[in-house]
Amino acid sequence: MIPADSAVALPHMPVDVARIERWIGEFAALTEEGPGVTRLGYSALEREAHALFGAEMSALGLTVRGDTAGNTIAELSGLEPDGPALGTGSHLDSVPQGGRFDGIAGVCAAMEVARAVVQSEWRPRHSWRFVAFATEEGARFGQACNGSRAAAGLVSTGDLAVVKDSHGVSMSAAMAAVGLDPARIAESRWRSEDWLAFVELHIEQGTVLEASGTSIGVVDAISGSTRLLVHLDGVASHTGGTPMHQRRDALAAASECVLACERIANDATHHGTRVTVGRLEVQPGSITTIPGEVSFTIDIRDFDSERQRRTAHLLDAQFRQISAARGVGIRSSVIGDTSPVFLPVEIVDSIVSAARERGLTYRLLSSGASHDSQQISRVTPTGMIFVPSIRGLSHVPEENTAFDDIALGAQVLLDTLIALDGSGAPGPAAAWTA
Ligand code: GLV
Ligand code: MN
Ligand code: MN
């Protein structure tokens, strides 16, 4: 429940939609050429976005620091600065040719919450930390949420050398190229005792809120993901000279594998499993040469952690059968693996109360996408607020959310943090982590 003294303060801290819109526009300008926004994890552009976030937070008088994972953390000291802190934030990287809102909406909402508190008479009891996480998207390296995974103590220096992007650049090398020291990644770990709770605002990336005319989504679970990289080695040869029965066509084998992915996800025992082949590269890529080599990625998403991993094993076994039948070689590796999580009811309740106090429509829903909150929930009780995505589109240039809807979500975020600030620790972390 929102404590009485905080409820009095609520109307004096309205969030400013114009400011959110301006910030989203400024981040959107930090992009590679091409459609939509391309600001990949551990790129110079991602670092520019972090610098912009840090400069805006410094201008508000917050203390800003970067950690060894590339996360940027701005702190507003509370009246009891030595106690545990409340946090909010999201990520500033994008997928290739993505939209303006994924991650950014949550960072801009956090910035506006900071602005509203700083320019009010009200001071939090606990310190509040505003966080821009590094490299949340798995689009570049496969493994998602590197910044928040480091904060949760899940990343070692050795891990960073193993994961590579499609050009063969390891995460360590990419970090070093933007001035980060992968050897010191362990220093980014957050201690549970330093945190009271964390709440992230994010666009829904689905159609539930829009279709039901609901303003606020209160997330109760976040899907897990297992990602594989598969290489098929066939024999490249002349498309005219090689008879059909003598071919070892890597792309024909890959096509069977892609359809096996779709079939398993549509199987009655996999209700809720989603499997996608999102990247497929064919060599030599000539009209007149039989494909000799194909590599492709698989992204398996599920709310059932055991089924998620079982699906990966089943598919790997099927790919081996398909390849053997066609005389094609196969190598596969796991390039990302994250468990689903269920978010604690205490934070869900706080968000629900805040939405209700504002007279906003809300509903519980689960997240099919991954989020930094998934990792942070291992450190401290964590919640998520979703705002509607127009036509549900995300990870594409057409991704859109009404600025007014982000402002409503930011107001609920602010009210939730005020309530948590006054309500003490909601409970021990990690018990609900799958
Ligand atoms: C994050 O955007 C994801 O890929 O789920
Ligand atoms: Mn995101
Ligand atoms: Mn994303």
Query: How confident is the prediction along the chain (434 residues), in pLDDT tens digits per residue?
Result: 333 344 434 546 889 999 999 999 999 999 999 999 999 999 999 999 999 999 999 999 999 999 999 999 999 999 999 999 999 999 999 999 999 999 999 999 999 999 999 999 889 999 999 999 999 999 999 889 999 999 999 999 999 999 999 999 999 999 999 999 999 999 999 999 999 999 999 999 999 999 999 999 999 999 999 999 999 999 999 999 999 999 999 999 999 999 999 999 999 999 899 999 999 999 999 999 999 999 999 999 999 999 999 999 999 999 999 999 999 999 999 999 999 999 999 999 999 999 999 999 999 999 999 999 999 999 999 999 999 999 999 999 999 999 999 999 999 999 999 999 986 545 443 333 33
Q: Rounded CA gap, 220 and 364, in Å?
A: 6
Q: Rounded CA gap, 163 and 139, in Å?
A: 12
Residues 218 and 238 occupy one common structural domain:
no
The pLDDT, as a whole number, for residue 427 is 45
Length reported for the chain: 434
Pocket perturbation via mutation, ligand 1, pick of 298, 341, 371, 384 by most ligand atoms within 8 A of CB: 371
The pLDDT, as a whole number, for residue 424 is 53
Residues 209 and 243 occupy one common structural domain:
no
CA of 56 to the centre of ligand 3 (A): 23
| Angle between helices 17-28 and 44-59 in degrees, nearest 10 | 150
CA of 397 to the centre of ligand 2 (A): 14
Residues 87 and 135 occupy one common structural domain:
yes
CA of 395 to the centre of ligand 2 (A): 9
Question: Ion ligand 3 — residues with CB under 5 Å?
Answer: 102
Q: Rounded CA gap, 238 and 168, in Å?
A: 29
The pLDDT, as a whole number, for residue 7 is 42
For the Cβ of 138 lying below 6 angstroms from any atom of ligand 1, the answer is yes
For the Cβ of 369 lying below 6 angstroms from any atom of ligand 1, the answer is yes
Residues 39 and 180 occupy one common structural domain:
yes
The pLDDT, as a whole number, for residue 106 is 98
CA of 232 to the centre of ligand 2 (A): 31
The pLDDT, as a whole number, for residue 310 is 97
Q: Is 243 exposed, middle or buried (0-12, 13-18, 19+ CB in 10 A)?
A: exposed
Asked whether the bond before 397 is cis by omega within 30 degrees of 0, the reply is: no
302-358 pLDDT, tens digit each: 999 999 999 999 999 999 999 999 999 999 999 999 999 999 999 999 999 999 999
SS3 300: strand
Q: Rounded CA gap, 418 and 117, in Å?
A: 10
Residues 30 and 149 occupy one common structural domain:
yes
Contact 136, 148 (CB under 8 A): yes
The pLDDT, as a whole number, for residue 10 is 53
Residues 140 and 201 occupy one common structural domain:
yes
For the Cβ of 370 lying below 6 angstroms from any atom of ligand 1, the answer is yes
Residues 154 and 210 occupy one common structural domain:
yes
**Residue 250's domain spans which residues?**
225-338
83, part of any domain: yes
Residues 179 and 299 occupy one common structural domain:
no
The domain spanning residue 273 has which CATH number?
3.30.70.360
- Report the share of the chain in percent with pLDDT over 90: 92
CA of 46 to the centre of ligand 2 (A): 14
Q: Closest ligand 1 atom, CA of 368?
A: 5
Considering every ligand atom shown, identify the ligand nearest to the alpha carbon of residue 90 and give its number. 2
The pLDDT, as a whole number, for residue 423 is 63
Question: Considering its fold, how many domains does the chain have in total?
Answer: 2
The pLDDT, as a whole number, for residue 12 is 62
Residues 72 and 165 occupy one common structural domain:
yes
Q: Closest ligand 1 atom, CA of 138?
A: 4
Residues 419 and 392 occupy one common structural domain:
yes
Considering every ligand atom shown, identify the ligand nearest to the alpha carbon of residue 278 and give its number. 1
Residue nearest to atom 1 of ligand 1 (CA): 370
Question: Ion ligand 2 — residues with CB under 5 Å?
Answer: 102-103
For the Cβ of 203 lying below 6 angstroms from any atom of ligand 1, the answer is no
The pLDDT, as a whole number, for residue 121 is 84
Q: Among residues 285, 303, 338, which one ends one of the domains? A: 338
For the Cβ of 94 lying below 6 angstroms from any atom of ligand 1, the answer is no
